[in-house]
Amino acid sequence: MNLNTIAEVKRPTSADQITQWRDGYAWLAGGTWLFSEPQISTDTLIDLERLNWPALGASPAGLDIAATCRVAELYRFAGADEWRAISLLRECCNAFLASFKIWNAATVGGNICMSLPASPMISLTVALDAIYTLWPRNAPPRDVHSVDFVTGNHTNILQPGELLRSIHLPASALSKRFAFRHASLTHLGRSAALLIGTQNAAGDDLLITITAATPRPIQLRFKRAPSSNKNAAGPRRNKLATLVGAEAAPISTVNADVRDRRA
């Protein structure tokens, strides 16, 4: 879509060149959402392409993902042999309702900053205990835990002009085994519910991350996996539903209503 309200496109080679922020400014990464509908309150785009951030950087400490990393780049990343959860990256990429054209334009950071319940990059990074590095305007960088970033449906903690710089996935989380469960009302549709479970090799750190069905990510931690006793399944399910409901009740959207998500 043509954005006929745009009067200027800035192309900085460093984020420090944007020293002031005002209403009407917008960061531009992949632009797959930005160009999908009118932006009547935006008159200036600030293109991140010339910042030339390396898309992916692996080290013994984990994986660093630039906010400008394309979804297709993340999908193709192989990773170290000991990173058992590396295929979770591809599972979450496949949870997009998007064509290959979108995959080659949309960015990991853009999907996170949209902060929609069905954003699979939020599901991925929260499940793997990611740390986000944020760059405010005229202030030092700050690190935040991924689970604290999204505050509601399409809302987050970003301040005006603040930029998501990178996402760090720790090696300890990437080394865990995982389970991935995705529910949608249509084949290859947007997520109605997305659950990811991770557990370390010792089996004493089970983390269940719930997204898509709730306005913000919900995490449940256990020292060990719940008992497989069938007689305890009903009460356990009711207890989990109470815990989730206390944190954030399921929501209704065009993708699914509350009844579908609660089920």
Query: How far is Cα 225 from Cα 145, in angstroms, rounded to an integer?
Result: 24
CA-wise closest residue to 145 among 163, 120, 128: 128
- Is domain 53-173 in CATH 3.40.50.720, yes or no? no
Question: 21: exposed, middle or buried (C-beta count within 10 Å: 0-12, 13-18, 19+)?
Answer: middle
Say yes or no to pLDDT of 54 above 50: yes
Prediction pTM value = 0.88
Say yes or no to pLDDT of 239 above 70: no
As a whole number, the mean pLDDT across the chain is 89
Say yes or no to pLDDT of 30 above 70: yes
Residues 176-262, CATH architecture: 2-Layer Sandwich (3.30)
Say yes or no to pLDDT of 256 above 50: no
φ, ψ dihedrals at 244, nearest 5° = -65, -45
Distance, first Cα to last Cα, the chain: 37
Domain ranges of the chain: 8-50, 53-173, 176-262
Query: How far is Cα 160 from Cα 12, in angstroms, rounded to an integer?
Result: 18
